[in-house]
Amino acid sequence: MSPMPKMRVIIAGGGSAGWCVAAALGRHLGPRLDITLVESEDIGIVGVGEATIPTVRTFHRLLGIDERDFMRASNATFKLGIAFENWARDGDRYIHAFGEIGKSNWMAPFHHFWLQARSEGYGGDLEDYCFELQAAEAGKFQTGPNSRLNYAYHFDAVLYGKFLRTFSERHGVKRLEGRIERVEQDPDTGFITALSLNDDRRIEGDLFIDCTGFRGLLIEEALKTGYDDWSHWLPTDRALAVQTQSHGPLMPYTRAIAHGDGWRWRIPLQNRVGNGLVYCSQTLSDEDARTRLLGLLDTPTLTEPRLIRYQTGSRRKVWNKNCVALGLSSGFIEPLESTSIHLFQIGVTRLIQFFPFGGITETLADHYNQMSRNELERVRDFVILHYKLTERDDSEFWRNRRDMDIPDTLSHRIELFRDTGHAWQAPDDLFRVDSWLQVLRGQRLEPARWHHLGAMMSRPQAETAFTGLKRTIDQAVAALPDHEAFLKSYCALTEPA
């Protein structure tokens, strides 16, 4: 028997998305695939996706990536959550931490116990019962075999792409330098047959992965897939990004600070800080945004502010014919909850699980598209939640967010929590009950009712349980080293990045 020919996979575009796809396919399906990534040094990458969520660690484990090696290569720090400032009201602050809150029962999550306790005048603050949140506030961190902290990373996205390129090439991925000039298609089926480069080379393939960014060179310009615009719910359409010198302690969380026309981020890396201003161009001009961003920085800049234009929404299909769009080419949810990197990492993981070795069928593509769409819409709803539940009325931007109509799926979640205290998650939800709970309450929504399981305990029993749980967390936080000190011992840079 002659061996089966390898399936030819062509990845259009590099950056974090392209090289994540290449790394995953090369690591897990390399022996059955011929993988080529085409990118041009002349085309810049967005490269500001510097914050992640804990699923990135699962992705790294699947690839067998050493944490210390990755962190040194990408100038990374640890992340325990996101601090939201000025969102419900100017002056407010809360943290969406990555950990579980308290100890739940099969009948009801912990916050129902706490709501009962609060109604009786004890129990302290709900935030007292989250280990990750308290460690973040204290600037503490540690990882290792016995660590219970659930965490993610901040890193330099450009350096991360370079790290993954090296990893991918070790697993047989070939890189071609060149600019894609034309996408060739079969005249009968519309399937993509080859990419024509600016030097007249033709790169033929069986499956094409579009990682060409917002442009969507394959999925949109060639295949005319269509785009669902969600800007009526999430109208920010610009971001200015700039790097500054480090200042103060390296805290293990991202800051998301609301301003009159959107919000700004502050992301601490080992040797610099990533800053950005997210805004709506209908209410704030690019020049005024630049002035506002520079006026809010607390240390000297290392780069010039870079303008990024985007439109929140989704491709109507992320798998169309023999093309799968991953990364910005598939759609975009603004960076508020750091989901962009997760979405293309779960996208390629799902592709590996449903890889079309037996041929591309409409049924397979439809199933992949439905799974991707369900997840993206739930992420969309979670991000909209931060805007809808605002009490700010100091600008047109915030008044419009407060008063806007929202998807029925989100309305149901808000009403259910307001009426009963129930926060929930579907089996394929990215964000868990604890995440919904922290944002719902952080945005000042308090439930009118709750499960009465807590009322079945005597008050002395309940108070003892709450006191013991808080003491355990306080002692565990006190025993942790300082985040910055731990970084220096664990994965400090050997030379400036």
Whole-angstrom distance, CA of residue 277 vs CA of residue 262 = 8
Q: In terms of Cα–Cα distance, which of 58, 100, 50 is closest to 436? A: 100
Q: Please identify which of the residues 6, 79, 103, 224 carries the catalytic annotation.
A: 79
Whole-angstrom distance, CA of residue 346 vs CA of residue 343 = 5
Contact 376, 397 (CB under 8 A): no
Q: What is the largest CA-CA distance in the chain?
A: 79
HEC readout, 402-470? HHCCCCHHHHHHHHHHHHHCCCCCCCCCCCCHHHHHHHHHHCCCCCCCCCHHHHHCCHHHHHHHHHHHH
Whole-angstrom distance, CA of residue 123 vs CA of residue 378 = 32
Local structure of 119: helix, strand or coil: helix
Whole-angstrom distance, CA of residue 341 vs CA of residue 20 = 9
Whole-angstrom distance, CA of residue 188 vs CA of residue 64 = 42
N- to C-terminal Cα separation, the chain: 52
Q: In terms of Cα–Cα distance, which of 307, 303, 294 is closest to 237? A: 307
Cα distances (angstroms) measured from residue 125 to each of 138, 148, 474 = 16, 21, 13
Cα distances (angstroms) measured from residue 204 to each of 5, 75, 201, 449 = 14, 37, 10, 61
Q: In terms of Cα–Cα distance, which of 316, 366, 376 is closest to 344? A: 376
59-67 contacts at long range (C-beta below 8 A, 24 or more positions apart): 59/20, 59/24, 59/345, 59/349, 62/24, 62/27, 62/28, 62/349, 63/23, 63/24, 63/27, 63/167, 64/27, 65/167, 67/143, 67/491
Q: What residue type is assigned to position 245 of the chain? A: Q
301: tokens are 């800049």
Dihedral of alpha carbons 58, 61, 65, 67, sign: positive
- The partner residues of 39 in beta bridges, in order of sequence, read 177
Active site includes 224? no
- State the catalytic residues: 79
